[in-house]
Structures are given as structure tokens and as C-alpha cells.
Chains A and B, each alone.
Chain A
Amino acid sequence: TQLLEQSPQFLSIQEGENLTVYCNSSSVFSSLQWYRQEPGEGPVLLVTVVTGGEVKKLKRLTFQFGDARKDSSLHITAAQPGDTGLYLCKSASKIIFGSGTRLSIRP
């Protein structure tokens, strides 16, 4: 069974700080997606990474897919309160979500 483990489970930091959250698996994935979910809403796709070693940037968010395609990271620069939410990684080709990282940015 393919599992996606995310760390940390919770993260609370001050506005302006940088942070990185991780998504790891023992299995190889053909592609990986990151979603963000805000309270009372469904998840919204942020990015899809396909190639091992790929790096994608979305404003202050940087996504990286591991060379072996078993892991991924999301780095946020200068976090803002609007970044608060549940960050989920998902296998793009399988219907598997990670357990999520709940991020809280304090003003």
C-alpha cells in the first residue's frame, strides 16, 4: 500500500518567517500534487510536479519533487497570515492524499 507521510503535522510560526513542509513515501510516484485547504472549504490545487528533481515556484511558494520521485517539499518564504491552512500532498495518478500539515501564521 502506498502511503504519503507529511511532516510536521502542525506548524505555527510568526509572519515573515520561512518554513518547509515535507511529503515522503517509500514508493515511487509518477507525479505529485500539493493542495491547500482552508476551513469549511474543499482542497484547492496549488501545483503538480512530474519530473524527478523538478522545482516549481508559485509566488512565495517553492515546490520540489525529489530526484527519486519518492518525496516532495513545499517551502514558503516570508509567510503571511493568508498562508494559513491545511497543506496536503497527493499522488496525482493514484487517489491517495497525505495526512496533511496544518499551518498557522501568527500576525
Chain B
Amino acid sequence: DTGVSQDPRHKITKRGQNVTFRCDPISEHNRLYWYRQTLGQGPEFLTYFQNEAQLEKSRLLSDRFSAERPKGSFSTLEIQRTEQGDSAMYLCASSFQTSGSSYNEQFFGPGTRLTVL
């Protein structure tokens, strides 16, 4: 399977703990996105990378959140000092963006469901 994969699929943690999620994009894709989705809502953008560079961060991404994409391959999203409000599905997507195109197709992983107790 060469799609986007995310690990873990589910994470239950206690308030105040740190958690880290991993995303492996489609190998030739240069862009990688992180979203948060709560039940019944559309995905909310958190941040995206072009290769290893983090190009944009949403104001939703508080200082407790940090994302990395070393070497432009897989990415990690860490949440420090988790709060109950962080409970959500965290989605990763990747795409191949060419310089001449204003849009692209994002391919999503299955998500990591975080529950903060």
C-alpha cells in the first residue's frame, strides 16, 4: 500500500502528558499537511510543509504544538501538556505541488484519534 499512513491510529492519554504522532506521506509528494477534525466538522488546517520547510502555521497551532518534517520525508506532530480540548482526529495529507499549478489533490491518511482524559 503506497498511500498516506499515520501512527498510531488511536491514542488515549491523561491531561498534561505529551503525545507524538507520525505521518508517512506518499513518497514522491513534496507537500505535507496536518489538520485537526472534531466530530461532525470539517478538517481545520494546522500547518503544512513543502519538503522540509514549514511554510504556514494556523493560529490554531498554539505553542504547545510543534511539527517537524526532517529531510522532507515523514512528519511528526507533538502536543505538549495535552488538554481535554485537544481531543480530536488528527489528519495528515500529502500532495505533489508543481510551480505552475494553483491547486492540487491532497491524499489523506486515516487519521490518529486522540482522547485526552
- Contact partners of A97 in chain B: CB under 8 A: 35, 42-45
Q: Tell whether, in the assembled complex, residue A31 and residue B102 are in contact, meaning their CB atoms are under 8 Å apart.
A: yes
B79 interface hit (Cβ, 8 Å): no
The interface bits of chain B over 82-117 (1 if a CB of A lies within 8 angstroms of the residue's CB, else 0) are: 000000000101000000001111111111000000
The answer to the question of B33 belonging to the interface, with a C-beta cut-off of 8 Å to chain A, is yes
Interface size bracket, A side: 20 to 34
Listed in ascending order, the chain B residues whose CB lies under 8 Å from chain A are: 4, 33, 35, 40-45, 48, 56, 91, 93, 102-111
For residue A50, which residues in chain B have a CB less than 8 angstroms away from its CB? 103
Note all chain B residues with C-beta closer than 8 A to A96: 45
Question: Do A42 and B110 touch (CB < 8 A)?
Answer: yes
Which of B33, B42, B48 is in CB contact (< 8 Å) with A100?
B42
Q: Answer yes or no: A74 CB below 8 A from chain B CBs.
A: no
State whether A100 touches B45 (Cβ < 8 A).
no
Contact A88 B43 (CB under 8 A): yes
Q: Which chain B residue shows the least CB distance to A102?
A: B40
In order of increasing CB-CB distance, the 9 nearest A-B pairs are A42-B108, A92-B103, A97-B42, A95-B45, A100-B42, A93-B102, A45-B105, A31-B103, A97-B43
